[in-house]
Chain A
Amino acid sequence: GQSLEQPSEVTAVEGAIVQINCTYQTSGFYGLSWYQQHDGGAPTFLSYNGLDGLEETGRFSSFLSRSDSYGYLLLQELQMKDSASYFCAVKRDSGNTPLVFGKGTRLSVIA
C-alpha cells in the first residue's frame, strides 16, 4: 500500500518558524509536493521537490531526502493567515499515476 505520515496538528506562535514533516512509503517515488488548504477553501499548490535538498519560495521552504524517504515544509515568520491545513503528496512516477496525498497537518498560529 501507499503510506504518507504527517502530524495531524501543529501549533506555533506568530513570527516563529515551524516545520511540518512528511514520511512516505510508496511503490515508487518521483517527487514530493506540498499543498495548503484554508478552512472552506480549495487546496492550493505550494512547492515541489524532485531532487534532494531545499527549495525556497519566499517564507516557505520545502526539503527532500530520498534516502530517508522524508521531506518537510518549513514556514518562517509565521503569520496568522498561515493557519491552514498542509498536505504532502507523492508523485510516484513520471507517467500518468495520480498523486498520493497525506492526511494533512492542521497548523494553528497563535498570537
Chain B
Amino acid sequence: DVKVTQSSRYLVKRTGEKVFLECVQDMDHENMFWYRQDPGLGLRLIYFSYDVKMKEKGDIPEGYSVSREKKERFSLILESASTNQTSMYLCASTTAGGYYEQYFGPGTRLTVT
C-alpha cells in the first residue's frame, strides 16, 4: 500500500526557532513536494524536488528551505519560525511521469507562538 508519512501530526514552536518537518515515502517516487494549506487559500506549493539533491522553488518559498539527501526523504526547514508560518503543511510524492496523481501525507499542523 502506498504510503507517505510525516514526522509529526501536531507541532508547537516558538518564534525564532528552527523547525524541521520530515516526509518519507516508501513508493520509490522520484518527485516530492511540500505544500502549505490555509483556509480559503487552497494548496500552495513551497518547494519541490524531482531528484535526489535537486530542488525547485514553488510559489511561496520565502522563509523556507528544503533538503533531499535520499530519494525517500524530503525535509522542509523553517530557518527562523514566525507566527505567519502557522499552517497545515502537506507533503506529497509522485512518479516521474505521474504528476497528475499525487500521494499526500497526513499533514503536520504547525503552530508558531
Contacts and interface: CB of A to CB of B under 8 A. Distances in A.
A75 interface: no
Nearest to A2: B59
B42 A96 contact: no
A104 B50 contact: no
Question: Nearest 8 CB-CB pairs, A to B?
Answer: A103-B42, A42-B104, A101-B43, A33-B100, A48-B100, A96-B50, A45-B101, A91-B100
Contacts of B40: 8, 103
Given A42-B90, A42-B105, A96-B31, A91 B99 contact: yes
Interface of A: 8, 31, 33, 35, 41-45, 48, 50, 87, 89, 91, 96-99, 101-104
A76 B46 CA distance: 35
Interface of B: 4, 31, 33, 40-45, 48, 50, 56, 58, 90, 92, 96, 99-107
Where chain A touches its partner, the secondary structure class is loop
Given A42-B105, A43-B43, A101-B42, A96 B90 contact: no
A98 B42 contact: no
B43 A87 contact: yes
A40 B44 CA distance: 17
Contact of B45 (A43, A45, A98): A98
Contacts of B100: 31, 33, 45, 48, 50, 89, 91, 99
Given A42-B90, A102-B42, A104-B42, A97 B99 contact: yes
Contacts of B99: 91, 96-99
Nearest to A42: B104
A93 B62 CA distance: 25
A46 B42 CA distance: 17
Contact of B90 (A33, A43, A50, A98): A43
User: Which one of B31, B48, B99 has the greatest number of beta carbons of chain A within 10 Å?
Assistant: B99
6 contacts: A33-B101, A35-B102, A43-B104, A97-B99, A101-B42, A103-B42
